[in-house]
A and B are shown apart, each in its own frame.
Chain A
């Protein structure tokens, strides 16, 4: 793996999970949605659009998306897509360290299984 490929893969995984974590933080600050009536959901949408964490999250997700497109222009899909299974591990670490979620052993085991499964599904031919 060349340095450039490694760098872009790291950007895809880190900015993708970073975006998810910022979006999760924004939603936790907005609070649990309990009322699913259209008017109430519209109110939630207004608060979502005013949240700076949400915009940071969307910007990071966009960075991940365009880095993925760039990476796919030279690296093989059969390498890139399974490699993004690392998202589950990095996401678990981010949830524990940044969002202070209590990631139990059962949840780690589940995430490792899912990650291995995604890598297998994406490399099968």
Chain B
């Protein structure tokens, strides 16, 4: 069976792309919405004002594009790997976020957050050592 040999080779790049596109998309949407300004109460009239503003933001569109790429890579990896394998591995985004915030933005990350990130890292290593697919060929 050649496909099971090839499995990890394409699984790992996609498993890296999934959390990267997902966190990047959220950061871009966050940046876009900061530019739009705080929405204080939800009503049709305020939405009518904010909607054109939201749709004219380049950051929002980049964010939507990134989230679409996230969903496509998520679907691709789920076409062969177990859900119980992909789900915990996707949590690496929670490790990436404090690491990037610390390294790039110089943010002070509280100690408990590093402990949590270490838990996630260990959990992902444990799951990553199990075979990606335990069900039969579709």
Contacts and interface: CB of A to CB of B under 8 A. Distances in A.
- Binding between chains A and B: yes
State the majority secondary structure of interface residues on B.
Answer: helix
A113 B119 CA distance: 5
Given A103-B134, A121-B120, 10 more contacts: A31-B79, A33-B80, A34-B3, A101-B82, A102-B134, A104-B130, A113-B122, A116-B116, A121-B113, A125-B110
B122 A95 contact: no
Interface of B: 3, 75-76, 78-80, 82-85, 87-88, 91, 94, 98, 110-113, 115-130, 134-135, 137-138
A21 B87 CA distance: 11
Nearest to B98: A121
Which of A20, A24, A94, A116 has most B Cβ within 10 Å? A24
3 smallest beta-carbon distances between A and B, as pairs:
A120-B116, A117-B119, A113-B123
Nearest to A120: B116
Contact of A114 (B3, B112, B124): B124
A63 to B, nearest CB: 17
Name the interface size band of chain A. Answer: 35 or more
Given A23-B78, A101-B83, A110-B124, A120 B88 contact: no
Contact of A124 (B3, B113, B129): B113
Contacts of B79: 27-28, 30-33, 44
A107 B130 CA distance: 7
